[in-house]
Structure 1
Amino acid sequence: MTREHERLNDAKEPSTPWRRWGPFLSERQWGTVREDYSPSGFSWGAFPHDHARRRAYRWGEDGLQGWTDRQCRLCFAPALWNGKDPILKERLFGLGGHEGNHGEDVKECYYYLDSTPTHSYTKALYKYPQSEYPYAWLRGENASRSRLEPELELADLGVFDEGRYFDVVQEVAKRSPEDMLWRITVKNNGPEAAEIHVLPTLWFRNVWSWGGTREDPVLKPTLELHDGSLLVNHPQLGSYRFHVDSPDLATPIPWWFTENETNNPSVFGTPAENPYTKDAFHRHLIDEEKDVISPHSIGTKATPHLKFTIPAGGSVTIRCRLHELQEDNGIKALDQFEETLEQRTAESDEFYDDIIPQKADTEERMICRQGYAGLLWTKQFYYYAMDEWFRGDGNSAPPPPERRRGRNRDWKHFHARDILSMPDKWEYPWFAAWDTAFHMIPFAKIDPDFSKHQLLLLLREWYMHPNGQLPAYEWNFSDVNPPVHASAVWRVYKISGNKGERDILFLERCFQKLLLNFTWWVNRKDTEGNHVFGGGFLGLDNIGVFDRSHALPDGSTLYQADGTAWMAGYCLTMLTMALELAQTKPAYEDIASKFFEHFVAITEAINSSDDAGLWDEEDGFYHDKLILGDDCEALPLRIRSLVGLLPLCAVTVLKQKLLDSLPGFRKRVDWFLANRPEVLRYISVRRVEGEKNPGRCLLAVPTEERLRKCIQRLIDEDEFFSGHGIRSLSKAHAKAPFVFEHGGQRNEVRYTPGEADTDMFGGNSNWRGPIWFPINYLIIEALQRYHYYYGDTFTVEYPKGSGKQVNLREIANEISDRLMSLFKLDKDGYRPCFGDAKRYSDETDWQNLLLFHEYFHGETGEGLGASHQTGWTALVVRLIRERRESLGAS
């Protein structure tokens, strides 16, 4: 057992809180729904970036790769100034959804390089230009560009040319749960000496301005020690000491103090309540205002001011330590600093040597390390109490009446104050239910307890709606994400323990709450009771011809192939979980039988030839179907997209041995099939006997014939099969877009391999061509299950026209390899995910840095959308593990 594994075990005890501190600070609190107190609900305008340095937040904090405790009471983050910028660099900058030509977009270059699950060691890099940061240029140019043009990125403006930037590397090591060391290394990559100011800032989240208790926390010098340290007192956290020094500075370090409170005259034009405000350090350093720093050497926000002139190619180091006073480990100030960092670095290496398959090559190990680092760095403190948000705060004006009629009005029970796994801490600094489900699959290998906690949390009564719906995301909790929570529970259950040692209590606790969610789906999304589902949005944004979040033309009804497929898969997962629970609790056999029957009913409906059926024999594919008006005319929407491939993913294989161990369930299944023989026309239920195979039972939506037709399209490079994975829309729609005309309106779906050219769902919502990891991962898993059942008896021609026959596992492996190739050096020494940004391969200080984008260009593989969506794109680490394990087995 590695030392980090020991810490994970120790963290289960309250006396060793290794999980209390971490990089839990958001990278964007401004522009979020939580901070929106406007009548319009336009959060980007209600709290813009320009307010962030001057205005206290209500529900959280943000900072530059910052740290905080589990309840975001005390925060740490470095602030930077290059002597030219108009503002301190205290947080990451980007464009709001209304400012750019492709939606929200962070305009910074930063990278997560390492982290252990307890954050006993973390490492991150921020690249800071030495020239003035081009805030106005980025805003103006991106606003003027059309959707058909690329975004203007920070690097496009030449600010990194000739190496004229600083590499700011922040490493953190925990000596113990309450003793943390920061090493901030600033390197000048440029050809000339350059000046930089570094302000390692400590502050308390403001809770006192919103009607909270007046037990104010305080920061003040530790005068009795004469060591330049800071005394930190907080009514709940307790007492700490904060030390800062730099071996590159010989002079005493001056401390500045202020309060984490809003600059009312600047933001609102109202009288000042306090002369010492949140933006004091900015005003003092950049605007040269003298009286904005507290002369009393006390406050709720404090920093030392460190100024360096770094020679070309040189570097400087800042060292910080925060430790609890009661934790007496006999170490004074910054003693044993470097030794502790070296030890924690080695322990991180040891941990990942145990986690990453030994057969992984150097490239794959790097992908895994940075993929896991991104997952761990994007954990964030998330606080949102809907009842308080609706009601308003005692010390503030009442909220506008529009709020009670606005977003999330049916979710007054919702109350979150937790560390959550975020999709991206800048672009999506809020949880999304189906993102979380995919995050937990790679998470389960490195931190199974956190994975299980996250999945259980969204099922708790303060998250889940009383009617059984899971909250989607803060912009609209009532939007409907795909029901993948159950499958994540099952995967985490299997990944996080060996057979006979798995957490059956976790599985049962989740199963009971998932029953409520499943019932909500059946009652709300199968409105006509015909086992064909709508669902609406379902996370695939603009994949269809209509905005599926809103009412359809003329009151029409949309039968969704993806909604129906998701529910068929939901049935199978609940069936599998019930059978597992039935091994020790026979009552679950009855529940399993119901899910089997429900799956059969859905499968019969989606494959039927009547109006509810979604298989299109003419096209050999599954399609949505529009039921028009009072005439109930059924029109297939012949768009070949992931919507029609998702029915392939509703598949499971049951071992005969399992069925034989549950005679009650097997008897019910046999009776059902004997008395409903017509359903065998639509589903594949077979038992295969053999010397080495005692029998397996396949449950799947497509028949073998229909499966074969869909797979032929799947692996056709003129349709779905890109050089880097499965496209979200068939390339055939480049030449033949789908056009729908009705009621005088014309709607079109055209293959768009890169950024969206439609404003449906905003800028970076594009499911009309790019490659998305989550659905690719589901398709790979499904093909593996089909192969587990069919073996080599099911083969297809691949590549097309080659005459070569391959089995479905080989197809799954080929998709995995293509997805992995996004991050690997190609034959020319470039990584496809970086497009034409050659600096990542040609320049030493950019090499071996990775980004995990939201989605990828359907032709080139270039990363698009959110640049740090390590959440579901980190599924690549799972693919690497599975590929290396399969190669080892073979």
Structure 2
Amino acid sequence: LCFAIALWNGADPIIKERLFGLTGSEGNHGEDVKEYYFYVDNTPTHSYMKYLYKYPQAAFPYEQLVNGNKHRSRKEREFELLDTGVFDSDRYFDVVVEYAKNSPQDITIQISITNHAPDSQTIHLLPSLWFRNTWAWDNSNKPSLHAHSPEAIALNHQHLGQMWLYCPESEELLFTENETNYQRLLGTANSSQYLKDGINDYIVNGEASVNPQQQGTKAAAHYELAIASGETKVVRLRLCDTAPDVLVLGSEAEIVATRLREADEFYHNISPFAMTDDMRNVQRQAFAGMLWSKQYYNYSVKPWLEGDSATPKPPSDRLKGRNAQWFHLESEDILSMPDKWEYPWFAAWDLAFHAIPIAMIDPDFAKQQLDVITREWFMHPNGQIPAYEWNFGDVNPPVHAWATYRVYKIEQKMHGKGDRIFLERVFQKLLLNFTWWVNRKDRDGKNVFEGGFLGLDNIGVFDRSAELPTGGHIEQADGTSWMGMYCLNMLTIALELAKENHVYEDIATKFFEHFLYIADAMNKVGDNHIELWDEEDGFYYDVLNLPSGNQLKLKVRSLVGLIPLFAVQTLDPELLDQLPEFKNRMHWFINHHPELTQNVACMETCGLGSRRLLAICYRDKLQRILTKMLDEKEFLGEFGIRALSKFHKDNPYIWRATGSEYRVDYEPAESSSGLFGGNSNWRGPIWMPVNYLIIESLQKFHHFYGDSFQIEYPTGSGNLMTLSDVADELSQRLINIFVKDESGDRPVNDSQNRKKSKFDTDANWSNLVLFHEYFHGDNGSGIGASHQTGWTGLVAKLIHQSSEYSRS
């Protein structure tokens, strides 16, 4: 059963029942939604939800948006809805939809429409109810909707039973079938006289296209509202399982007010620390976006490959195409989506980052997300975790173990107890995944990993998912570093589990030793070794292995060389004393393998609190990498760490082979190429997830070194800071993307780069926040998918911890 609203302003050629956007080929930077809508509020139980849509009163400029972007190059910014002038003179409606539960089976829907125009305007409101069409696939039982009275729709479903949608004061109830109009689309016969576009044709064109018997599988209540300038009109509906002869209407406004008050109390208890109203607003909308981005994800690969029983067979080459090796995958799960318009499908490493802010407010759902991806209907029998829908067999960074332990610790701190059963269950599955990585991605058994795509799209000289034009293969500094981090995450979980089950001490020893081998491979120099570290530059680079046997460092100063920072963990002496078998084995290994421990920080010297440090980057390398990372002429931007050094703005990296030129330039905004769809760019912008990991890594290094390690921040300033202070400063730079600056502008809105818009100057817009996919490397403006609260929702966690540990 689905519910949504549709609208008509009397000027559009169609009713507004779905968001409009450009496809990948239409947008000058790939697909892009061209609407203004906002996830304003939500709670983990969805007891209260609030959504805002801004609907122009003039005809929606569909053609202008298509043509405006078509004629722009990839070097120009996108042509947006505000650029069309359709919101000039405030000729638009604010449409606020609130959902409030009286019980799980009793939902009030409150729709408030405000006319911002200087004169009276009329709008048609169509609250719509329909059943998802599954009967066309397999001839299953067909549910039904019918008019129970002039103001109530009755529904019958074999699983939901009987329910009603009460629509007080509606002018009419409209019914049709949720069936495709094949005559309009393909010129073939339709299965019904009344089709899913029938309500549109009735409202806009006055056609007799709705069922006069008032029954079907799709229905809408019709309200025609004349709204004076500045006036707000409110429509309240009730969807519940209470029969009309029992239900008493009239308490809907009170239900909404009560649920909102409870939501306010809930979020204050989540973050009770002192913070500005604006920061609290940003955090609350970040949480709302995370919760609104849940989606029922139904994908059964086998029937998709073979076709549904009630439909024609698909082309035979589908059986050999994408995801053909994932025939076991069968999802019927609620998943957290990166962006429900642009990325309405799960991505494994996105999901890991989603779990962090979700764990603050709904640890059970966060745990379920991490658990389900490792279940047998997702994880491949060989242990691989599916990457993302377009190609399950691709490879994302292995951050699942990191997220699992972080969610465990967040729940432990914020909700009183860590879920060890969850931790152990996911850990057992990750043992399979770790083995898959070792067997499939370590080509020569040297603990140097190729990885492949690894989620960083166009960051490299070459497409890392494809065959190299030179032949040979790339030894990836980031692939190996991710595996070092994975090892330490698994070690940390094993040690936690070993506190209550000493069997896990043996497994912890395995990951301890494996990490030493990986760190040794990253740092070893000399004959017959792959040298990822460049002593002259003080940085890690990928290494190209040519068919001739020659090796060449690809000297691109990118995030690839910063990821070794992520492989860091400290061991407290109290923990080691609890686990004598692991402690003894660790000391034995250190004493008997000095050739390994000399390349790992910091095996023989204890740090603050007699802690041990396990890290790929020992002190000197850490200092040299951070000197580059914290240099404003390189990685440090006003709003975070760039994915590519600004050094390449004037010094592009160029590689020529097979008559072609391969080039990496500093591009702080959208990509100037169509690689990976043209709407993703890791060559200069700021990305929230990797910045978050950088901050966490600095905190871990500080946990070992304490005040004994200080570094210039920014490089060349003479201002020395501890790594903890640097982490705090970087956190604040990321938060500053979203909060208002001294001029009252939000950098995310691109206010530095163009004339001020309604987001900067209009009180009805200025407190609304968008959480983009990534951000301009120089000015912090939002780029890419505009509602990717997904991993960008990590800002909610940054706000929480910056307020909790504020020194002010």
Tell me if TM exceeds 0.5: yes
Q: Secondary structure at the match of 1:496?
A: helix
Partner AA of 1:660 in structure 2: D
* Counterpart secondary structure, 2:645: coil
Q: Show the counterpart of 2:522.
A: 606
User: Aligned partners of 2:242, 2:247: CA distance in 1, in Å?
Assistant: 11
Specify the alignment match of 1:635 in structure 2.
552
Q: Which one of the candidate residues 628, 641, 659 is aligned to 1:744?
A: 659
Match of 1:9 in 2: none
Q: Residue 539 of structure 1 aligns with which residue?
A: 455
Q: Please name the residue that 1:618 is paired with.
A: 536
- Once superposed, what is the RMSD of the aligned Cα atoms? 1.5
Q: What SS does structure 2 have at the residue aligned with 1:861?
A: coil
The 8 Å contact of residues 164 and 243 in structure 2, kept in 1 or not, is answered as no
Q: Which residue of 1 aligns with 2:649?
A: 734
1:568 maps to which of 465, 480, 484: 484
Contact 1:379/1:419 (CA < 8 Å) preserved in 2?
yes
Q: Deviations over 1:437-496 (max 9, x none)?
A: 000000001000000011000000000011111111111111111100110000000101
Query: In the alignment, does 2:448 pair up with 1:448?
Result: no
Q: Which residue of 1 aligns with 2:222?
A: 305
Q: Which residue of 1 aligns with 2:782?
A: 863
Distance 1:242 1:500, change over 3 A: closer
Whole-angstrom distance in 2 between the partners of 1:759 and 1:303: 41
1:208 paired with 2:123, answer no
Match of 1:137 in 2: 64
Q: For 1:182, what is the secondary structure of its paired residue? A: strand
Query: What percent of counterpart residues are identical?
Result: 52
- Asked if the contact 2:481–2:564 (Cα under 8 Å) also holds between the matched residues in 1, the reply is yes
SS in 2 for 1:844: coil
Output the CA distance in 2 between the equivalents of 1:467 and 1:229.
53
* Deviation for aligned residue 1:98: 1.1
2:23 to 91, 96, 99: 96
> What secondary structure does 2:174 align onto?
strand
Q: How far apart, in 2, do the equivalents of 1:311 and 1:661 lie?
A: 72
Instruction: Tell me which residue corresponds to 1:35.
Output: none
3-state SS of the aligned residue for 2:167? Answer: strand
Match of 1:381?
Answer: 296
Which residue identity does 1:346 align to in structure 2?
A: R
Opposite residue 320 of structure 1, the aligned amino acid is L
Task: Name 1:172's counterpart in structure 2.
Answer: 99
Q: Is the 2:772–2:788 contact (alpha carbons within 8 Å) kept by the matching residues of 1? A: yes
Q: Does 1:496 align with 2:419?
A: no
Query: Could you tell me whether the CA contact under 8 Å between 2:23 and 2:30 is conserved in 1?
Result: yes
Pick aligned residue for 2:629 from 711, 714, 717 = 714
The answer on whether the counterparts of 1:545 and 1:748 sit within 8 Å (CA) in structure 2 is yes
For residue 798 of structure 1, what is the aligned residue in structure 2?
Answer: 713
Q: 1:321 aligns with which of 238, 242, 245?
A: 238
Determine helix, strand or coil for the equivalent of 1:762: helix
Q: Distance in 1 between matches of 2:717 and 2:641?
A: 20
Distance in 2 between residues matched to 1:729 and 1:326, nearest whole Å: 61
In the TM superposition, what is the alpha-carbon distance from 1:380 to its structure 2 partner? 0.7
Aligned to 2:156: 233
Note the C-alpha offset of 1:681.
2.5
Q: Is residue 2:2 matched to residue 1:75? A: yes
1:264 to 150, 171, 182: 182
Partners of 2:139 and 2:310 within 8 A in 1: no
Deviation at 1:742, TM superposition (A): 2.0
SS in 1 for 2:367: helix
The residue matched to 1:761 in structure 2 has which SS? Answer: helix
Moved more, 456-465 or 135-144: 135-144
- C-alpha distance after superposition, 1:560-609 (max 9, x if no partner): 01100000000000000001111111111111111011100000001111
**Equivalence map 1:15-34=2 (5 Å):** none
Q: Contact 2:372–2:378 at 8 Å: present in 1 too? A: yes
Decide whether the 8 Å contact of 1:357 with 1:884 is kept in 2. no
Which deviates more, 458-467 or 822-831? 822-831
Q: Which of 185, 193, 214 lines up with 1:275 in the alignment?
A: 193
Match of 2:569 among 631, 643, 652: 652
User: Is the CA contact 2:449–2:476 (under 8 Å) kept in the aligned structure 1?
Assistant: yes
CA contact (8 A) 1:222 1:230 kept: yes
The structural deviation recorded for 1:810 is 0.8
Distance 2:500 2:139 in 1: 49
Q: Secondary structure at the match of 1:708?
A: helix
Matches for 1:393-408 after TM superposition, within 5 Å: 393-408=308-323
CA distance in 2, matches of 1:439, 1:694: 33
| 1:710-751 residue CA offsets vs partner (Å, 9 max, x unmatched) | 000111000000000000000000000111112222111000
Structure 1 alignment gaps of length 5 or more: 1-73, 247-251
| Match of residue 511 from structure 1 | 427
Change (3 A) 1:345 1:488: same
1:224-270 per-residue CA deviation (whole Å, 9 max, x = no partner) reads xxx62111111111110110125xxxxx6211110000111111211
Alpha carbons 2:290, 2:358 under 8 Å: kept: yes
SS at match of 1:173: strand
After superposition, the C-alpha distances for 1:531-556 in whole angstroms (9 at most, x for unaligned) are 00011100000000000110112421
Structure 1 residue 500 displacement after superposition: 8.0
Residues 120 and 173 in structure 1, CA contact (< 8 A), matched pair in contact too = yes
- Structure 1 residue 551 corresponds to structure 2 residue 471: no
* Kept after mapping to 2: 8 A contact 1:178/1:327: no
Match of 2:798 in 1: 879
Tell me the residue number matched to 1:476.
391
Q: Deviations over 1:83-116 (max 9, x none)?
A: 1111111010101111111011000000111101
Paired residue for 1:146? 73
Moved more, 353-362 or 699-708: 353-362
Aligned AA (1:298): Q
Alignment-derived partner of residue 280 in structure 2: 365
2:261 is matched with 346
Aligned residue type for 2:476: Q
**What's the secondary structure of 2:676's corresponding residue?**
coil
Contact kept in structure 2, 1:357 and 1:881, CA below 8 Å: no
Which of 340, 344, 357 is matched with 1:425 structurally? 340
Post-superposition offset of 1:646: 0.2
Deviation at 1:803, TM superposition (A): 2.3
Whether the aligned pair in 2 keeps the contact of 1:77 and 1:200 (CA below 8 Å) is yes
1:295 alignment partner in structure 2:
212
TM-score, normalised via structure 2 length: 0.97
Give, as a single letter, the amino acid of the residue that structure 1 aligns with 2:668. Answer: P
Q: Distance in 2 between matches of 1:116 and 1:468?
A: 35
Alpha-carbon spacing, 1:642–1:540, altered in 2? closer, same or farther (3 Å): same
- State the distance in 1 between where 2:224 and 2:244 align: 32
CA displacement at 1:884 relative to structure 2:
1.4
**Structure 1's 583 and 299: CA in aligned 2 closer, same or farther, altered over 3 A?**
same
Q: Secondary structure at the match of 1:100?
A: coil
Q: Is residue 664 of structure 1 aligned with residue 581 of structure 2? A: yes
Shift of 1:507: 0.5
Which residue, out of 671, 674, 685, partners 1:756? 671
Quote the Cα distance in structure 2 between the aligned partners of 1:621 and 1:819.
Answer: 24
Q: State the distance in 2 between where 1:312 and 1:263 align.
A: 39
Residue of structure 2 equivalent to 1:245: 168
- The separation in 1 between residues aligned to 2:90 and 2:660, in whole angstroms, is 53
Shift in Å, 1:78:
0.4
1:774-808 Cα distance to aligned partner (Å, 9 max, x none): 00000000000000100000011223333222110
SS in 1 for 2:225: strand
Aligned to 1:305, the other structure's residue is in SS state strand
TM-score calculated relative to the size of structure 1: 0.89
CA distance in 1, matches of 2:52, 2:733: 28
Secondary structure of residue in 2 paired with 1:175: strand
Q: Which of residues 699, 702, 705 in structure 1 aligns to 2:620?
A: 705
- Aligned residue number for residue 195 of structure 1: 122
Tell me which residue corresponds to 1:58. none
